[in-house]
Structure 1
Amino acid sequence: MSTYPAPGQLIPASAIPDIKAVPFGDSALMVSIASGTVEERQTGSRKLREILLEVRPHGLLDVVAGVDSVLVEFDCLAVSHGQLAQTIRLAAASRSFEGAGPSQTGKHFVIPIVINEAFAPDLRDVAEELGISKEAVLRHLEASELTINLLASAMAPMMGRVEFPGQVSRCKEPRTNVDPGSVMVAGTNAIIQPFPGPTGWKVIGRTPLTICDIRENPPTSFKPGDTVQFKVVPESEWKLLEGRFLRTDSYTTKEVH
């Protein structure tokens, strides 16, 4: 449905958020928050996606999340770029949109990771690049509350922001295959590999939990806007946790002996 002010109700121009909508081909808009910090723009984009999926403006076909933007696909025979862009702005304004505000519906996950030579082949390289010890790399990772910005290929959760003292480069030569559950970093972002596959990100640990399972409905329990904290656990915990499907209650710190 289309979202417009109620009859006789006007939304002041000052209430309409600073939203940038750029045509992306004949039937899509790349929509983002035009101002604010990186975190504010990312949070704002997630809220925009939630609003659009709730409102379902006339002609809307799909909303694809990005790190700090959303791709809005629409029926170009039903609505124009300009009409949809204005509807998006009005929909955001009518819901008292505040890009910097925290999500009220997000879930929080604590994800255990195991560190050994096989599971963390790039940990030493990451430590050397950042100029800190391997233990410090893991402390920074554990201390960071990460937000899932988008679901990448194969439903992999891409998260930011790891509080590293610098940016982590990608591998010079991408790996042709990494194991499912691999926890990887690049820049100040982290991602978990759901299934075996190639990657150019640096692997610094592995979770024993299953983060995506096509036998489950839905196959993942997380979505953009949810938050994650990693917890390094002893290797002895692997067998206890291996294969457990990731849920908010899949792991608690009480399980570490």
Structure 2
Amino acid sequence: MKLIHAGDSCIILKLSDELSPAANDLVLEISTALSEGGPRGIVEISPAYSSIGVYYDPTIIEPKEVEEWIKASQTRKKPATSIRRDLYRIPVDYSDAYGPDLQEVAKETNLTAEEVVKLHTRTRYRVYMLGFMPGFLYLGDVPAPIRVPRLKKPRVRVPPGSVGLAKEQTGIYGIESPGGWKIIGRTPIRLLDTAKSPPTPFKTGDLVEFFPISSEEFSRLDGISVEQTKIG
């Protein structure tokens, strides 16, 4: 465990140098403990792959107090297996209209497009973190046969709901933004709603499954809330 000061209002708790389910489980355990209550002046707890950002108001609480509180969280954490994880089943249209890179991925992996889709949809993915844009989901781990690098030249615009691949990760774009992931499909589900707090229900540790839909089904489901895809 290493504490890193990132400016005058954030301390990063680095838990591991590796990106793995075990490291992310530890993130889940400690971030859950931190989120259950803290001293006045704590602003936000932001879990990532193998680290946690703790944001605070330096006019209210001293950095040393924040450090001590973070260290004390080790004694309050619960096993990751006891922490609630929601499961979402996300529909995806994998047609060429919404998956402009699917054929390229198939060519790179010596598979057919249908085989790529089959492999992508047979896995239950973990939500490792949310970032780099609002609502973007970092999911893993992608089956080895369909792990491909990012685009050599990122796109200026990637539509919201686009589902992409980048090595061992798959992800969903929450809003329109630039991006370099290889896009193999798009979901009609509205992942982000800025009128709500929080604007997305996803959290670190949640689970995601994808299933293919037709273009007709895409039109019928277009814009429905992500809460409607939650199982249980």
Bigger CA radius of gyration: 1
Question: What is the DSSP-based 3-state SS (H/G/I as helix, E as strand, rest coil) of the residue aligned with 1:91?
Answer: helix
- Deviation of 1:75 after TM superposition, in Å, equals 4.3
Asked if structure 2 preserves the Cα contact closer than 8 Å seen for 1:137 and 1:164, the reply is no
**How far, CA to CA, are the matches of 2:81 and 2:109 in structure 1?**
30
Aligned AA (2:63)? S
Moved more, 24-33 or 205-214: 24-33
Residue 133 (structure 1) aligns with? 112
Residues 1:168 and 2:151 are matched in the alignment: no
Q: Which portions of structure 1, spanning 4 or more consecutive aligned residues, are displaced by more than 6 angstroms? A: none
Asked if structure 1 preserves the Cα contact closer than 8 Å seen for 2:155 and 2:178, the reply is yes
Asked if structure 1 preserves the Cα contact closer than 8 Å seen for 2:141 and 2:168, the reply is yes
Residue 28 (structure 1) aligns with? 10
State the Cα RMSD in Å: 2.5
Deviations 1:58-100 (Å, cap 9, x if unpaired)? 643322222221112234563334x5334323222233x44xx
Residue 8 (structure 1) aligns with? none
**How far, CA to CA, are the matches of 2:63 and 2:211 in structure 1?**
48
Name which of 144, 148, 163 aligns with 2:123.
144
Q: Where do residues 140-219 of structure 1 align in structure 2 (5 Å cutoff)?
A: 140-152=119-131, 153-165=133-145, 167-219=147-199
- Deviation of 1:231 after TM superposition, in Å, equals 0.4
Residue 70 (structure 1) aligns with? 52
Question: What is the DSSP-based 3-state SS (H/G/I as helix, E as strand, rest coil) of the residue aligned with 1:155?
Answer: coil
Give % identity: 27
Unaligned runs of 5+ in 2: none
Aligned AA (1:71)? G
- Deviation of 1:109 after TM superposition, in Å, equals 0.3
Unaligned runs of 5+ in 1: 1-18, 253-257
Alignment coverage as a number of residue pairs: 229
- Deviation of 1:215 after TM superposition, in Å, equals 3.8
- Deviation of 1:174 after TM superposition, in Å, equals 1.0
In the superposition, the TM-score normalised over structure 2's length comes to 0.86
Deviations 1:93-138 (Å, cap 9, x if unpaired)? 233x44xx33622211000001211111111222232333322221
